[in-house]
Amino acid sequence: MRAILPLLLLLAGCAPEGGATAGGIVSLNPCADQLLIALAPPGEIAAISHYSRDPASSSISTDVARRFRATAGTAEEVIALNPNLVIATSFTPAASREAFRRAGLKTLYLDSPTTLEASRAQVMEVARTVKAEARGRALVAEMDAAVARNRWDGAPVPALLYLTGDLANGSGTMLDEMMGVAGFQNAAGDLGVAHTGTLPVESLLRRPPEVILSPDGGGRTAKIRRRLLAATGARTREAPFSSALINCGGPTVPAALDRLAQVRREVGE
């Protein structure tokens, strides 16, 4: 008994606030959070991840995130909630997976989609799991409508999209595909960046793109990059691209495509 008492005390400390009953759905990742909020009735959401309360990592507004309980994502905390379903990612540590299995929790582990088609499939996978297929089909229709209204038929413009600092979005990503839809040619691929990778300013200066998209001003690295580009006389235009549009698919896709298309229109023919 003494051996298990600390664990019992820990679980008691993680019990649902306000005496809430067990059940519902818990998500452990900001991308899973936004899918869950888009598809499931609010009353079925037991908790979302703490990441969605941080504007730097969230793909939903913090006002929306604060409507739901948040967890730190520890296995003990999740098990104490005794949810009907846990939505996590393929990067979930093996120890947490095993803990969920031993506790008998139903789990859904999501990959990070690298194409729009994979994102559509993921939306429907979650929708079927939470028994919200009609909402899933409606969300997929919104994504398809965004692709249709933002498709650029003219010549593509070379552009770079920075995720943070000097970390650039490369080829073979969903953002890369969306850039192509909106009329941009991802210059990172020509500079040797596949998927995501660092792009030193020295490489950038050798072949400056016409457009740079960076989140929230880009910070100190972006300021240095901006100053060096100006010194070379490069006529590169810079446009903000919110970090909230970078990390996830599904509900984020329409807003991300709309923003990319807006920047492409501002660049002109």
Same domain, 83 and 187: no
- Note whether 160 and 140 are same-domain residues: no
Where residue 268 falls among pLDDT bands split at 50, 70, 90?
A: confident
Hey, is 85 helix, strand or coil?
strand
Distance in Å from the first CA to the final CA of the chain: 74
- Higher-pLDDT residue of 223 and 120 is 120
Distance CA 107, CA 100 (A): 8
C-alpha–C-alpha distance, residues 106 and 87, integer Å:
9
Q: Which of 61-65, 216-220, 236-240 has the lowest mean pLDDT?
A: 216-220
> Does residue 162 share a domain with residue 136?
no
Burial 23-34 (b: 16+ CB within 10 A, else e): ebbbbbbbbbbb
pLDDT digits (tens, 9 = 90+) for 92-115: 999 999 999 999 999 999 999 999
Q: Say if 13 falls within a structural domain.
A: no
User: Are residue 86 and residue 38 in the same domain, yes or no?
Assistant: yes
The pair of three-digit structure tokens given for residue 108, joined into one six-digit string: 């859904």
Are the C-beta atoms of 133 and 127 separated by less than 8 Å?
Answer: yes
The answer on pLDDT for 9 being more than 50 is no
Q: For residue 26, is it within any domain?
A: yes
7 within domain boundaries: no
Last residue within a domain, chosen from 124, 145, 166: 145
Say whether pLDDT at 7 is over 60: no
- Does 61 map to a domain? yes
Domain count, the chain: 2
Same domain, 90 and 171: no
In a domain, 197, yes or no: yes
The CATH number of whichever domain residue 263 belongs to comes to: 3.40.50.1980
Q: Residue 216 — pLDDT band, cuts 50, 70, 90?
A: low
CA 220 centroid distance within chain: 23
Q: Are residue 158 and residue 141 in the same domain, yes or no?
A: no
For 53-57, 93-97, 209-213, which range has the lowest pLDDT when averaged over its residues?
A: 53-57
Calculate the average pLDDT of the chain.
89
Domain end marker among 145, 174, 197: 145
Residue-range definition of the domain harbouring residue 223: 154-267
Residue 46 belongs to some domain of the structure: yes
Claim to verify: residue 40 and residue 94 sit in the same structural domain: yes
pLDDT at 5: 29
Q: Which range has the top average pLDDT, 5-19, 56-70, 124-138?
A: 124-138
**Whether residue 27 is found in the same domain as residue 82:** yes
Are residues 127 and 183 both part of a single domain? no
What is the pTM (predicted TM-score) of this model? 0.87
Boundary of a domain, candidates 110, 145, 180: 145
Let me know whether 192 and 130 are in one domain.
Answer: no
Mean pLDDT of the region 8-34: 64
| Domain co-membership, 103 together with 200 | no
Q: Is the pLDDT of residue 151 over 50?
A: yes
Q: Are residues 141 and 27 in the same domain?
A: yes
